[in-house]
Amino acid sequence: MQKLSGNISVKVLPSGPSRLFNLYFMGEEDQEKAESKAVSMPTPPVEEEKEASLNDAANEKSLVPVSEKVADPTAAENVTGGSNNRDAILSRVETEKRYALIKAWVENEKAKVENKAHKKLSAIGSWETTKKVSVEAKIRKFEDKMERKKAEYAEKMKNKAAELHKAAEEKKAMIEAKKSEECLKVEETAAKFRATGYTPKKFLGCFSS
C-alpha cells in the first residue's frame, strides 16, 4: 500500500493473471463504503488486456534467463579445454622465453670468453713481435761488431804479413850483402895469390888422390 497526498492511499492486489488496481479513499467516516465500492467496481477490459500483455512479457523475460542459465556440458568441457590449452600455451611461452634467455646468456658468456682469449692471444703476439725485434737488433749489432772486428783483424793480419815480408826482404838483403862481401874477399885473395904466385892449399887438397 502506498500513501498519496491527504488521506488517499493506493493498494495493488493481484487477481489471476492480471493485476487489479483498487483505490481506497480512507476517510474518517466512509472507509467501509469506499472498500465496498472498490471491490464492486468493474475493471475496464482495455486495462485487463494491457496488464495481461505486460504480465506475459514479464513472464517471457523471466523465462529467458532460466533457459540461459541451463548448464551446457559441452560448453563446460569447451571452457575447461580452453583453460587447459591456455595454460599449456602460457607454459610453452614461459619455457621458450626461459630457453631464449639461457641461449642469450650462453652467447654472451661465449663472447666474453672469445674476447678474453683474443686479448691474451693479441698480447702474446705483441710480446713475440717485440722480442723478435729485440733479438734481431742484437743480432745485427753483433754482426756489425763482428764485421768491425773481422775488418780490424784482417787489417791486422795484412799489417803483420807486410811486416813479415819486410823482415824477410831485410834478411834477404843482408844475405845478399854478405854474399857480395864474401865474393869480394875471394876476388881480393885470388888477386894476391896471382901476384905472389901462391897456390891455395885447401883447394889443392880437394884434388889430392
Partners of 11 in the β-ladder:
22
Q: Which three cell numbers stand for residue 196?
A: 905472389
What's at 142, amino acid-wise?
F
Work out the pLDDT band at 199, boundaries 50, 70, 90. Answer: confident
State yes or no: pLDDT of 41 exceeds 60. Answer: no
Which range (50-64, 97-111, 149-163) has the least confidence? 50-64
DSSP for 30-43, please give it: -HHHHHHHHHHPPP
What count of residues does the chain have?
209
DSSP for 142-177, please give it: HHHHHHHHHHHHHHHHHHHHHHHHHHHHHHHHHHHH
User: How many structural domains comprise the chain?
Assistant: 1
50 within domain boundaries:
yes
18 within domain boundaries:
yes
104 within domain boundaries:
no
Q: Which domain holds residue 16?
A: 2-69
Q: What is the pLDDT of residues 112-130, one digit of tens each?
A: 999 999 999 999 999 999 9
Is the Cα dihedral 162, 164, 166, 168 positive or negative? negative
Work out the pLDDT band at 55, boundaries 50, 70, 90. Answer: low
11 within domain boundaries:
yes
16 within domain boundaries:
yes
14 within domain boundaries:
yes
CB 37 within 8 A of CB 24: no
183 within domain boundaries:
no
20 within domain boundaries:
yes
Rounded distance between C-alpha atoms, residue 28 and residue 45, angstroms: 32
Q: Whole-number mean pLDDT of the chain?
A: 75
Rounded distance between C-alpha atoms, residue 102 and residue 94, angstroms: 12
In the sheet that holds 2-3, the strands lie side by side as: 2-3, 8-15, 18-25
Work out the pLDDT band at 198, boundaries 50, 70, 90. Answer: confident
Q: How far apart are the first and last CA of the chain?
A: 206
